[in-house]
Every structure is written in structure tokens, then in C-alpha cells.
Amino acid sequence: MNRPLLIVSLLVAAGLATLPWLGSDTMIQFGINALLLATLAQSWNILGGFTGYVSFGNSVFYGLGTYGTAIAMTNYNLPFGVGLAIGAVVAMIAALLVGLPILRLRGPYFAIATLGLNGAMMAIFSNLPIAGSNIGLVLPLTRNDAMFYELALGLLVACSLTVLWISRARFGMGLIAVREDEDAAGSMGVNATRYKVAALVMASFFTAIAGGIHAYWSTFVDPASAFDSTLNVRMVISVVFGGPGTVLGPVIGSFILSTVYEVLASQISTAAALLFGVVIVLAVIFMPKGLADILRSRRNLTWRYFIRNIRENRL
């Protein structure tokens, strides 16, 4: 990402920050959801985009952040900030404990191992009295959408700046080396497991904070919404749509998908999910490297680009 693009991005972020004073309530609520999803996608990008490891366990960190905040605020009457911190720390410890064994697995085996985590966590939290078991927890009500909006925006900016740093740092080079060829990375002195675990822990931090913000905003958490595996799928889709391993791709991708989904849902309600699926299938066929690849060079924007992608996909 070059300097002009960075300046434009920061200006856009500053522009978005004014939305609570300009937009309607519906706009603000849509904005909070879109910003949180973009943060989740951007966090998923840290491991999934840079190392190519597809994680279905990020919704676990989201759930831990959600419950960390909810339990701290309802059971112990702690302030919101402390709740967020507790959720983030718990999620990071979980990422470390989970990452150390299963990030030694490669490729699809890692994805399979993470698939089970979400279900296990949901079962555990359904039986934890402190977490309200199956019923869930109700958080103190705060009607301040503008605050949640700014928090979500701030988190997305922080997460994106982290990804920007990764894309330029030696750490990011190591992650990309792992994606390109893990054995070769090893022979270049990259401790692949350590790099991957560090990436997962960073991702878990932002994911958990996003979960905590959402919990306080929606004022209610239960196991099914906290450990929602479809949320994880949406993170993956947003990143793949936008461009894995890029700084702006996941953000733009998730904004566009959020908007498409919202428009479809308001126009045709029930069939929205179906059409959403069609949009994703078309995107994967015609631009498998994501939006970022198209935006990077405008020369690519010819029919040849799309034909080449179809041919490479052997469709």
C-alpha cells in the first residue's frame, strides 16, 4: 500500500467518523454491523490471508470476547472497558493454547481441527451457570449508538493499521513465506509454528474486542449467537471476496458484501441469502484473487482478465 492510498484511506475513515451526526439511526446501526464485520474479516486476514491457513475457529474468539465482556459486566458489575480487556485476554490465551498444538497441522487438516472448536465451545458455554447456561446473559442497557459506531470504527482502523504494519514488517514476510512454501520458509530460518501462533493471537485480540463491543451494543448474549459458525464463514467470504493478504481488500470486500446483503434483504427478504450465494459464486469464478487484485492495476479490468480466471479455474 503506497502513501497516497494510505492518506485517502485515512481521509475516508475520518469521513466515516462523521456519520453519527449526518446519518439516520438505521444508517448508524447498519454502520456498526458493517464495521464490526469488517474488523472480523480484517482479523481473519492476519492468519488466513497472509499464511493461507483457513481458520474456522475465529468465531470462538468472537464468542469468548462476547462472553468475557458479558460476564464481567453482569456478574461482577465491572465497567465496559475492563470487560473488553478480560474478553481479549481470555481469547488470546485460548488462541495460544489452541494454536500451539493445531497450528502444527498443515493445510486442510488445520481447517478441520478448527471446525470442531466452535461446537465444543458452544456446548461448554451452554452448561456454564456463570454464563447463564442456555438462557444467556442480559447486559446493562446503553442507548448510545454513536459511541458504539465510533468504537467499531476505531477498532477497524487499529486492526487495519496492524495489518498494514504486518504487510511491511519482517513478521509479515515470514507469514507470506509460510504461505508460499512452509518448508522453504523453514530453511530460511522462519519458525513457522511460532509465526502462525503469533498471527492467530493477534487475530484473536481484535476478534474478541469486536465481540465485546457487539455484546454491549446488542445487550444480550446466548451461546447460539456468540459461537455462530456462519459468522466465521462470513469472515472468510469477505476476505476471499476482497483479496486475501492485502490491507484494504478485506475491508472493502466486507463493506460491499454487507451492503449487498442489506439491499437484498430489504428488497426480497427471504430469498436474500440465496442471491447472496449467487453473488459469491460469481465473484469466486470471475475474480478469485479478490477485488484488490483488480484495483491494483486498472489494466486488469478487461474481459481478458475474467476469461483468464475462468480458464485457470478449469471451469
Partner 1 sequence: MTKDILTIKGLNAGYGAVPVLFDLDLTVREGEIVSMVGSNGAGKTTLLRAISRIIPATGTMTFDGEDLLPLKPEGAFSRGLVQVPEGRQLFGHMTVEENMMMGANRRRDGGVAESFERVYALFPKMKERRRQLAGNMSGGEQQMCAMARALMANPKLLVIDEMSLGLAPVIVDDLLAILTDIRAQGLTVLLVEQDVFAAFSVADRAYVMETGRIVREGPISELANDPAVRDAYLGAEH
Half-sphere exposure of 254 (CA within 13 A, CB side): 30
Cβ 68 vs Cβ 86: under 8 Å: yes
Q: Could you tell me the smallest distance in angstroms from the CB atom of residue 105 to partner 1? A: 19
Q: Which residue, 104 or 228, is less far from partner 1 as judged by CB?
A: 104
Under DSSP, is residue 220 helix (H, G, I), strand (E, B) or coil? strand
Contact 149, 19 (CB under 8 A): yes
Contact 70, 213 (CB under 8 A): no
Q: Assign residue 173 a region: left if phi > 0, alpha if psi is -120 to 50, beta otherwise?
A: alpha
Q: Which of 133, 186, 229, 279 binds partner 1 (CB under 8 A)?
A: 186
Tell me the three state secondary structure of residue 141.
coil
Q: Give the burial class of 217: count Cβ atoms within 10 A of its Cβ; 0-12 exposed, 13-18 middle, 19 or more buried.
A: buried
Read off the C-alpha cell for 230. 456462519
Closest approach of partner 1 to the CB of residue 179, in Å: 9
In the bound state with partner 1, the residue whose beta carbon lies nearer, of 170 and 311, is: 170
Q: Which residues make Cβ contacts (< 8 Å) with residue 67, sequence separation at least 6?
A: 87, 125, 131, 137, 215, 221, 226
Whether residue 195 contacts residue 99, with contact meaning beta carbons closer than 8 Å, is answered with no
Closer Cβ to partner 1, 54 or 176, answer by number: 176
Rounded CA separation 36/268 (Å): 24
Q: Which is nearer to partner 1, 143 or 170 (CB)?
A: 170
Minimum Å distance from CB 190 to partner 1? 7
Q: Mark the segment that binds partner 1 (CB under 8 A) among 158-166, 188-196, 232-240, 257-265.
A: 188-196
The footprint of partner 1 on this chain (CB under 8 A) covers a number of residues equal to 16
Stretch that binds partner 1, among 37-45, 142-150, 179-187, 280-288 (CB under 8 A): 179-187
Among 4-12, 26-34, 114-122, 183-191, which window interacts with partner 1 (CB under 8 A)?
183-191
Exposure pattern of 58-90 as b/e (b: 16+ CB <10 Å)?
bbbbbbbbbbbbbbbbbeeeeebeebbbbbbeb
Site stretch for partner 1 (CB under 8 A), options 29-37, 91-99, 181-189, 248-256: 181-189
Window 190-249: residues binding partner 1 (CB under 8 A):
190-191
Binding mask 154-173 for partner 1 (x = CB under 8 A): ----------------x--x
Q: Which is nearer to partner 1, 176 or 248 (CB)?
A: 176
CB of 135 or CB of 184, closer to partner 1: 184
Q: Which stretch binds partner 1 (CB under 8 A): 17-25, 80-88, 185-193, 212-220?
A: 185-193
| Nearest residue (CB) to partner 1, 23 versus 186 | 186
Q: Which residues bind partner 1 (CB under 8 A)?
A: 170, 173-174, 176-177, 180-181, 183-191
